[in-house]
Amino acid sequence: MTTERVVTIAWLYGSKMNIYGDRGNVLALAQRARWRGIEPHVVVVGIGEAIPPESDIFFFGGGQDQEQIAVSHDLTGAKGAAIKTSVEDGAALLSICGGYQLLGHEYRPHDAEPLPGIGLFDIESEAGTERFIGNVVIDSQWGTLVGFENHSGLTFLGETATPMGTVQVGRGNNGQDRTGGAIYENAIGCYLHGSLLPKNPKLADWLLSAGLQYRSGEGDLDPLNDEIEQTAHASALQRAFATR
Amino acid sequence: MSRPVTLSNVRLVGGVVAARAIARLIRTLGRGGGTSAPGLVAEWIDPAMLTRLTSRLPHGSIVVAGTNGKTTTSRMIADVLTAHGHKVVHNRSGSNLVRGVVSAFAAQASLTGNPGGDVAVIETDEAAFPEIVRLVRPRLVLLNNLFRDQLDRYGELDTIARTWKTSLASLGEETTVLFNADDPGLTAITRDLAAATIAFGLCERKHTLQLLPHAADAATCYACSADLHYSRIYVSHLGEWQCPSCGVKRPDLDVVGRDVELAGVESLAMTIDQHGESDRYEIGVPGLYNAYNTLAAVAATRHAGVPHETVRTALESFRSAFGRIERVSYRGRKLTLALVKNPVGFNEVLRMLTAATGALTVPTLIAINDLHADGRDVSWLWDVDFELLARGDGMLGATGLRGADMANRLKYAGVAEDRIRSFPTGLAAGLDAFVNQIPDGEQAYILPTYTAMLEIRKTLADRGAVETFWQQ
Ligand SMILES: [Zn+2]
């Protein structure tokens, strides 16, 4: 006799912040739960909508400039605070690109007012002059992570921030210090599209496990056959080194 | 009637001569179609060559732009104009950067700087559009659609729309802008122009989508940023739209397409209303996205003064551009090739292939490369609705440099693992391994990205299955 296991994925601004195939991350979390008999609930949280209290895992993708401004305004106040509190209590979170930037202290565009972030990560971002486009490989606690970056924003880690890993191929946070992404509690932010989670299944399962642990105190996951995922991972690594 | 070689012609002639010589050399060496290297040389010799050649066209230039359908549409227009007795200069091989356009002109121009035709049809890449418009000063600009494409190449959609808007605003009243009004983004950037505008769109009851697909863009109001409401959705974010907040809506249509009949992967028919006339067109290209291309081509050529009978007859014999949709017999198997290059295009191909039964029952090989012309970022595969393929029992194969990403995408789309086959990443080997799985006499689909299509086509051509494209 086991109780039904459920995991709730809150997809922040899913209709606006969804460029570069970032929904693959939500698909990966949902499918990897479903294949283990865990029922995924995906809730898209739009502008003006409150954070559902049952959120176990947050996903926050990238968007275009116009959308990023609207989202930044929406996050100030209670909504940003609710996300921060959940993460500090143990909820899992993955943010990519624009979403990652807005979870830092602020983002400074070239010719406009700075966009305030919620300060979950001790990072600051600013518009750069070069666009970093290409495959990325990062060494991390989950082994190699492989994805594709496409950003002109530069992110710098503050004193209390921990990088997600070290850049082996690509530019990472800022193209200068070889740091890639940031990690705080069970929250991760980085510039890796690709989509990231489907071909980095260890990271996907780490987030899933953290979310379940937060919900029920029970984060164990049955193993899955990841042959197709591992092949995709290996081939992406090979292309990253071949095109570096 | 050839123009005398004057002093001001010398640089122009030099560019034409050099470009033609190099095109010939490259073709002889067999390095490819020779479609853009000569343009590079011609541009270097005389950057103003394109302006001077196009200014000598008695009937001016038609520039065709849009994320999807520009190759097919410009081919349709060129065919109709040719049928009407024009001599058309056209970058027909699909090299649509400035270099490719210069090449096409260099190949056709006489050594005395005569453009070699009386009208030009110029297909342009999204990024090259402002530069081409500046160099060519077109008589007619045709805007098909603006979708999310390979973002590592083109930058974000907002950026393209901004540069297009600036470019369109520079046109005077001697130019007409023909735009797809079903696209809210195109409607936004064609407002308040000095140029004349003509709106085209569909009024179609049968072929509608229930929801905006995931890959849809620009579903927010350009005036007030509210989410747009659609009474009908046709393809991606194209449809009958209006803003529930400020009331902005799809403009009244000057040219209307309706009563579209789709015949599988073969053909389509539709009625087009304009200037108070209604005409039925039948055409040998499939899918609703080609109904848009037909509509655009009819609107453009009717605007250019071609009688509807001539348009109709020319389009009746139209077949699709190479690789867009092709049927090839290879080792006794009937292969249908369809180019896939971005989420919207891929969704429409899947919609066409599954239209008859609601599922994909024919074995299908998807070939994904990540070279520059494909887009180096394969993230876009996650924006395509492969979930449509979870039903059905046909084998789904993956090949190409990023075939492994494709197989993974299919798994997460809910396709049963025993239907997913990973073939060798090398395309010739991948193609043969796939074809070996197809019983003799049966049919199969092949869906390649751009460079994968070139390579598969070359493999097929080397083995005598199809002609190489630059010989067409
Ligand atoms: Zn509005």
Q: For residue A108, is it within any domain? A: yes
- Least confident window among A40-54, A152-166, B33-47, B442-456: B33-47
**Measured between CA atoms, how close is B149 to chain A, in angstroms?**
10
Ligand 1 centroid, distance to B224 Cα (angstroms): 4
More confident residue, B357 or A166: A166
Same domain for B289 and B189: yes
Q: Is the pLDDT of residue A242 over 80?
A: yes
**Structural domain boundaries enclosing A190:** 6-243
**Structural domain boundaries enclosing B308:** 7-316
The rounded distance, in Å, linking the Cα atoms of B268 and B294 is 10
Q: For residue A1, is it within any domain? A: no
Same domain for B278 and B166: yes
Cβ count within 10 A of residue A240: 20
The rounded distance, in Å, linking the Cα atoms of A123 and A181 is 10
Percent of chain B with pLDDT over 70: 85
Same domain for B198 and B263: yes
Ligand 1 centroid, distance to A233 Cα (angstroms): 44
Q: For residue B51, is it within any domain? A: yes
Q: For residue B369, is it within any domain? A: yes
Residue whose tokens read 């024919």? B362
Comparing alpha-carbon positions, the chain A residue that sits nearest to B383 is A21
Eight-state DSSP code of residue B250:
P
Q: For residue A57, is it within any domain? A: yes
Instruction: Output the average pLDDT for chain A.
Output: 94
> Is the separation of the CB atoms in A151 and A132 below 8 Å?
yes
Q: What is the CATH number of the domain that holds B32?
A: 3.40.1190.10
Mean pLDDT value of segment B262-280: 90
Contacts of B425 in chain A (CB under 8 A): 235
The order of strands in the sheet holding B176-180 is B88-90, B119-123, B61-65, B140-143, B176-180, B196-202, B255-263, B267-274, B277-283
Q: Tell me, what's the pLDDT at B29?
A: 45
Same domain for B93 and B30: yes
Which of B156, B379, B404 has its CB closest to that of A195?
A: B379
**What tokens does B9 get?**
């012609």
Same domain for B329 and B462: yes
Ligand 1 centroid, distance to B226 Cα (angstroms): 5
Q: Is the pLDDT of residue B203 over 50?
A: yes
Q: For residue A170, is it within any domain? A: yes
Ligand 1 centroid, distance to B188 Cα (angstroms): 11
Last residue of a domain, one of B316, B337, B369: B316
Q: For residue B47, is it within any domain? A: yes
Phi-psi region of A240 (alpha: psi -120 to 50; beta: other; left: phi over 0): alpha
Q: Is the pLDDT of residue A1 over 50?
A: no
The amino acid at B95: S
Inter-chain contact A19–B377, Cβ cutoff 8 Å? no
Inter-chain contact A232–B148, Cβ cutoff 8 Å? no
Burial B386-397 (b: 16+ CB within 10 A, else e): bebbeebebbbb
Mean pLDDT value of segment B360-383: 94
The rounded distance, in Å, linking the Cα atoms of B447 and A38 is 34
The residue from B152, B158, B377, B393 that is catalytic is B377
Q: Tell me, what's the pLDDT at A132?
A: 95
Q: Tell me, what's the pLDDT at B34?
A: 47
**Number of structural domains, chain A?**
1
Q: Tell me, what's the pLDDT at B5?
A: 42
Same domain for B328 and B296: no
Q: Is B182 a catalytic residue?
A: no
Comparing alpha-carbon positions, the chain A residue that sits nearest to B382 is A21
Q: For residue B30, is it within any domain? A: yes
Residue whose tokens read 């429409």? B348
Percent of chain B with pLDDT over 90: 60
Contacts of B369 in chain A (CB under 8 A): none
**Measured between CA atoms, how close is B107 to chain A, in angstroms?**
34
Mean pLDDT value of segment B84-97: 86
Comparing alpha-carbon positions, the chain A residue that sits nearest to B377 is A148
Inter-chain contact B422–A236, Cβ cutoff 8 Å? no
Q: Tell me, what's the pLDDT at B448?
A: 97
CA atoms within 13 A of residue A123's CA, in its CB half-sphere: 33
φ, ψ (nearest 5 deg) of residue B462: -60, -30
Containing A211, the helix (H) or strand (E) segment is helix A201-216
The rounded distance, in Å, linking the Cα atoms of A188 and A208 is 13
Ligand 1 centroid, distance to B9 Cα (angstroms): 52
Which of A27, A134, A199 has its CB closest to that of B405?
A: A199
**Measured between CA atoms, how close is A230 to chain B, in angstroms?**
9
Q: Tell me, what's the pLDDT at B470?
A: 34
Same domain for B275 and B340: no
Last residue of a domain, one of B268, B285, B316: B316
Q: Tell me, what's the pLDDT at B155?
A: 63
Mean pLDDT value of segment A23-48: 95
Contacts of B420 in chain A (CB under 8 A): 228
The amino acid at B401: L
Contacts of A195 in chain B (CB under 8 A): 379, 382
Last residue of a domain, one of B316, B344, B376: B316
Q: For residue A218, is it within any domain? A: yes
Same domain for B286 and B334: no
Contacts of A236 in chain B (CB under 8 A): 402, 404-405
Residue-wise pLDDT for B148-197, tens only, equals 766 666 667 788 899 999 999 999 999 999 999 999 999 999 999 999 99
Inter-chain contact A235–B417, Cβ cutoff 8 Å? no
Inter-chain contact B151–A234, Cβ cutoff 8 Å? no
Q: Is the pLDDT of residue B468 over 70?
A: no
Mean pLDDT value of segment B109-133: 89
Interface residue A31 vs chain B (CB under 8 A): yes
The rounded distance, in Å, linking the Cα atoms of B27 and A82 is 64
Residue-wise pLDDT for B19-73, tens only, equals 666 555 555 544 444 455 555 555 554 557 889 889 999 999 999 999 889 999 9
Interface residue A21 vs chain B (CB under 8 A): yes
**What tokens does B427 get?**
């395309």
**Confidence band (pLDDT; 50, 70, 90) for B214?**
confident
Cβ count within 10 A of residue A114: 14
**Number of structural domains, chain B?**
2
Q: At what angle do helices B308-316 and B70-83 cross, to 10 degrees?
A: 120
ipTM here: 0.96
Residue-wise pLDDT for A68-121, tens only, equals 888 999 998 899 999 999 999 999 999 999 999 999 999 999 888 999 999 999
Interface residue A62 vs chain B (CB under 8 A): no
Q: Tell me, what's the pLDDT at B33?
A: 47
Same domain for B190 and B237: yes
Q: What is the CATH number of the domain that holds A128?
A: 3.40.50.880
Which of B156, B401, B407 has its CB closest to that of A228?
A: B407
**Confidence band (pLDDT; 50, 70, 90) for B323?**
low
Q: For residue B162, is it within any domain? A: yes
Interface residue A171 vs chain B (CB under 8 A): no
